[in-house]
Amino acid sequence: MQDNKEALYIKEMEDVCFHEEPWSIDAVKSALQREDIFYKILYDEAETPMGYFIAAASFEEAELYRIAVIPKKRGIGYGKKLMNCFLKSCPQKTERIFLEVKESNTAAVRLYESFGFKLTGRRKKYYGIEDALNYMLILDDKNG
Ligand SMILES: CC(C)(COP(=O)(O)OP(=O)(O)OC[C@H]1O[C@@H](n2cnc3c(N)ncnc32)[C@H](O)[C@@H]1OP(=O)(O)O)[C@@H](O)C(=O)NCCC(=O)NCCS
């Protein structure tokens, strides 16, 4: 089953990209089956998975849950490519996008800010000793 193969690919990438708190295979599988979830896996020329995003949409809002590029492919634009793909994949009616990120995750924070996400709040000690930062992007006119 295609979904199952994709779930396994995502789980492998979860383990190397989020080694402190990877989603379990069951969490990945159940996420991929949810009606509100949309996601994309990026492959290289050899069909090896290099990165992915997982997001959810409901009414006018979307939330980016995961975006990751495998360590050896980082720093060469695939994160940006995935972000663009995520933004294009949001349903037409999406007006606001939310996400949450660890304060120390400089690469992700810069990536989000470069796409216009604005800091809206902070959850103190949400990740153990670390704060979570809340970001939002308002989509004013997706079709230009
Ligand atoms: C965040 C992540 C997806 C970025 O992927 P990437 O392929 O390395 O990103 P890109 O090469 O496309 O870079 C895009 C932008 O991100 C920022 N960035 C990427 N790596 C960075 C780093 N090491 N330090 C600071 N900024 C960085 C920069 O703004 C960069 O734009 P620039 O090159 O024009 O300066 C990647 O670091 C990752 O998978 N991290 C682990 C998973 C994670 O923490 N995901 C986010 C929380 S869900």
Which domains, ranges and CATH numbers included, belong to the chain?
Answer: 2-138 (3.40.630.30)
Residue among 126, 17, 6, 106 nearest 67 (CA) = 17
Nearest residue (by CA) to ligand 1, atom 39, is 68
Q: Where are the beta strands (DSSP E) in 1-144?
A: 37-43, 49-58, 61-69, 96-102, 118-127, 130-138
Q: Quick one: pLDDT at residue 126?
A: 81
Task: Tell me the CA–centroid distance for residue 144 and ligand 1, in Å.
Answer: 26
Nearest residue (by CA) to ligand 1, atom 23, is 107
**DSSP code, position 60:** T
**Is residue 100 within 8 Å of 125, Cβ to Cβ?**
no
The residue type found at 55 is A
Residue among 49, 97, 89, 55 nearest 70 (CA) = 49
Pocket test for ligand 1, best of 110, 113, 135 (most atoms within 8 A of CB): 110
Nearest residue (by CA) to ligand 1, atom 25, is 107
Task: Tell me the CA–centroid distance for residue 50 and ligand 1, in Å.
Answer: 13
Task: Tell me the CA–centroid distance for residue 52 and ligand 1, in Å.
Answer: 13
**Is residue 96 within 8 Å of 137, Cβ to Cβ?**
yes
Kindly report, residue by residue over 5-64, the tens digit of the pLDDT: 999 999 999 999 999 899 999 999 999 999 999 999 999 999 999 999 999 999 999 999
> pTM for this one?
0.95
Q: Quick one: pLDDT at residue 144?
A: 47
Nearest residue (by CA) to ligand 1, atom 7, is 79
* Dist CA 100 CA 11 (whole Å): 20
The percent of residues in the chain predicted with pLDDT above 70, rounded, is 96
